[in-house]
A and B are shown apart, each in its own frame.
Chain A
Amino acid sequence: MNDPQYGWWLPPDVSVHGADIDFMINAIHWFMLALFIFWGGFIVYCLIRFRARPGHVAIYRDIEAKWNRWLEIGVAVAETVVLVVFAMPVWAKIKDDLPLAPEQDAMVVRVVAEQFKWLFHYPGRDGTFGKTGPEFYADDNPAGLDFDDEAGWDDITVRGFHFPVDRPVIARLTAKDVIHSFKIPVMRITQDVVPGMEITIWFQAKETGRFQVGCAQLCGLGHYEMKANLVIESKEDFQKWLDEEHEALGLDE
């Protein structure tokens, strides 16, 4: 597996919503840098200005200056603005504003996390997911499909993640064993995956490319190996891949 080298700053952003997240990450980091420089300088100034020397004693009393209180209120307001104006709307868009309308033509994929790999489950040619349940998980059935359900027999269950560009993707995330976290750095997506729950998230890519899915929650000794190849491709290439995967199922034999 080729591990992409992302360099020193943020990895490339190929998602539609990613610019908002990058703005927030950048704004917070520059803000922190400004705070660090100011307070760092202030500490150095105080160390010199108020150093211990004969004839000077410490005063154990609060600062009485008014501007100090206004500064505290200002910091609280700035933090609230970052949270309410920037963070919450992005979160609400990804979490609650699901592209469920038929004209939005979202692709639905089920994602199963296990120690220590991802599994991606597509509904197959009939467009219907087969019945799944934790009671069906087995060595020869990692997706937990009910093998007696014909709707599931053409489902595609693979270890690499493919999805088309310029089309919303709804991911239904679930875990088999412990808490994992579904992370696609280039899609600016990070979402905890919890056993016994199905957590839904959506995203849309604006560029094609080959990237990687990772796990962002320490999930055991093999956590570092919990990754999957990610291929974001054109509509035609994605359809071609789906056809190949369908062929690989050997249903026509």
Chain B
Amino acid sequence: MAALAESLGRNGAAHDGAGRAADAERLARGLGWFSLGLGLAELLAPRGVARIAGAGEGHTGLIRLYGLREIASGLAIFAQGRRPAAAVWARVAGDALDLATLAVAFVSPKSNKGRVAFATANVLAVTALDVLCAQQFSSNVAANGKEEAPVRKSIVVNSTPEELYQFWHDFENLPRFMRHLESVRVTGGGRSHWVAKAPAGTTVEWDAEITDDRPGELIAWRSLEGADVDNAGSVRFERAPGGRGTIVKVEIDYSPPGGLVGAAVAKLFGEEPAQQVDADLRRFKQVIETGEVVLSDATLPGTGLTEQRPAQPLAASAGR
């Protein structure tokens, strides 16, 4: 699998994502300590804080409250573990409150305008850091190397590796069990043209080529440049122990290098990519073992993967 990922050029991208995630995590920890320090200062020495910020000394109660808020958001950052997006966004909200308070102080006749301006500049700088950090946590693609990993699923099918390889190798069979594929047309020379259904009755299309092909064992493919959705995949066929059929292992990668668009494709369908691949494999097994995809009243074609119709027959006029 590692060799395959490398051949698809995936490892470099994963490292970049992981590196960014580690940076964001370090930044969050820094912000957490900053929150705790400032919060303790506000709580224990409100007069000093007020003096530095240029506010009058009559607001110690309010500053102590803000100190409690800082401590709470600092603790929240540490409590939320490796990806404290919510806690960092809470810090951003706190920054907004600080800035509003400073604005009120600025127009107050009792304040020292220069010091208020200096404090405001400092808060703005911290706010910028908070927003940057929160955005990195909230963006799956940019900050989290893990979620970029290819989807891997496997299933046992009552058949031989050779027969399953044959079936899969004819890519025109794939729409029989891959729910979102409308058609695959083999265009020759190891190449094929894929059309997939997208939301709102639209389609996305791409050309793909076979990148590795070992009869009875493995097929790997990837989309060619100019694809609507960059993607790559592989399927392996391994004889199960005890002659109990074949273990089919699929790896699908929606975001090979150069294409962040692809990462969004599964989300486009409102589904988790892993669940989508899992369901496709289950249908593959049904087609091989029983001859076709098994339907129930609640899961007719056209209903989404997770949505359900009531378990009663569909009216004839409604069509399918």
A and B bound? no
Q: List B residues at the A interface (Cβ < 8 Å).
A: none
The chain A residues found within 8 Å of chain B, CB to CB, are none
